[in-house]
Amino acid sequence: MNWATHGAPLLLTLALWWGSTAVIARLIGHTPHTYPRLLLLATLLGFAGLLLLVSLRDTTSVAGAVGALVGAIAVWGWIEVTFLTGKVTGPLPGHSADDEGLLRRAGRAFTAILWHEILIALTVAVAALLLLGRENDLALLVLLLLWLMRSSAKLNLFLGVRNLGEGFLPPHLRHLLDFMRHRAMNALMPISLLAGTAIAWHFGAASLSAASAYEATASTILSTLAALAVFEHLLMVLPLPAETLWRWSLADRRAAP
């Protein structure tokens, strides 16, 4: 394995995945009066990330690939902060009754996060307009992969899993737990795991046969992200709460009222 084109991007992607989740979870755990500053910071970082990926869209080097990853993570972090602070969720908080039909529950669940889903779609559309057809479109692929696997995670939580990740939800989003179910497994989970594994395998193989350092680095980043998404899905069904991996960042999480 070449360190510059495989090992370093793999470790960097892992560090960004774990670190960004930990920092956001830690900051969301603070009192709501800190949220305006957090939103401003996240917006500035997200805009800087967008500028970064635009400035690198014709740069096909290892540095260009790494910069595209950092820019995409900054944009995605902004998306996450808008949701977790409760500023961009849905038109109605919604609640689900135990005897409610599946389709009605699905409709209410989607309504509860509608604005956030639209925000993600619009953000990815903007990235597509800026990056499609350019030499370095890695940031767009990263955003698409994060969107795909996050959508899969939401569907699996809706259908039912062992671990709902309650510790990551601040009090003002606890109503979303009404749309999740505790189950050992659901029919979608094996499909999600197979799809994520196939994506990781595809880009992993592409990284080993890449014709340039940029292609090897970009494929390694995408393969690592897909593998991490598979790991996140496994944490939903294994007897190991995901909160364990970010215990320090959740230490000061406010108790639900």
**What are the angstrom distances between the C-alpha of 165 and each of 186, 242, 244, 246?**
16, 6, 10, 11
Q: pLDDT for 98-113, tens place per residue?
A: 567 788 888 889 999 9
* Per-residue pLDDT, 256: 40
Task: Locate 177 and state its tokens.
Answer: 């737990």
Q: Average pLDDT of 204-214?
A: 93
CA dihedral (215, 216, 218, 223) in degrees, to 10, reads: 130
Structural element, H or E, at residue 87: none
pTM over 0.95: no
**Structure tokens that stand for 104 in this block:** 């009605």
Burial 125-159 (b: 16+ CB within 10 A, else e): eebeeebeebebbbbbbbbbbbbbbbebbbbbbbb
pLDDT at 167 over 90: no
- Residue 7 tokens read as 């090992």
Phi, psi of 104, rounded to the nearest 5 degrees: -65, -40
Q: Give residue-wise pLDDT tens across range 83-92.
A: 999 999 998 7
Structure tokens at 234: 């496994």
Q: For residue 91, what are its two tokens?
A: 């038109």
Higher local confidence (pLDDT), 108 or 121: 121
The whole-number pLDDT of residue 52 equals 97
Per-chain mean pLDDT for the chain? 90
Quote the pLDDT of residue 2.
65
Percent of the chain residues past pLDDT 70, beyond the cut: 89
For residues 254 and 226, the model is more confident at: 226
Separation CA 11–CA 93 (nearest Å): 38
Q: Give 47 or 239, the one with higher predicted confidence.
A: 47
Q: Which SS3 state, helix, strand or coil, does residue 161 take?
A: strand
pLDDT higher than threshold 60 for residue 159: yes
Q: How confident is the model at residue 60 (pLDDT cuts 50, 70, 90)?
A: very high
Task: Name the one residue in this structure whose structure tokens are 């559309």.
Answer: 125
- Phi, psi angles (nearest 5°) of residue 251: -65, -35
Q: Measured between alpha carbons, how far is residue 235 from residues 119, 154, 221, 241 in Å?
A: 27, 14, 21, 7
The pLDDT confidence band at residue 30, using thresholds 50, 70 and 90, is confident
Per-residue tokens: 230: 């598979």
Kindly give, in sequence order, each residue whose CB lies less than 8 Å from that of residue 232, ignoring residues fewer than 6 positions away. Answer: 149, 153, 242
Report the pLDDT value the prediction gives residue 102, as an integer from 0 to 100: 81
**223 confidence band (pLDDT: 50, 70, 90):** very high
Which residues 6+ apart lie within 8 Å of 13 measured at CB? Answer: 69, 220, 221, 224, 225, 228
Asked if residue 78 has pLDDT above 60, the reply is: yes
Q: Are 221 and 142 in contact, with CB atoms under 8 Å apart?
A: yes
Instruction: Please tell me the predicted confidence (pLDDT) of residue 197.
Output: 98
How far apart CA 181 and CA 78 sit, in angstroms, is 28
pLDDT tier, 253 (very low <50, low <70, confident <90, very high otherwise): low
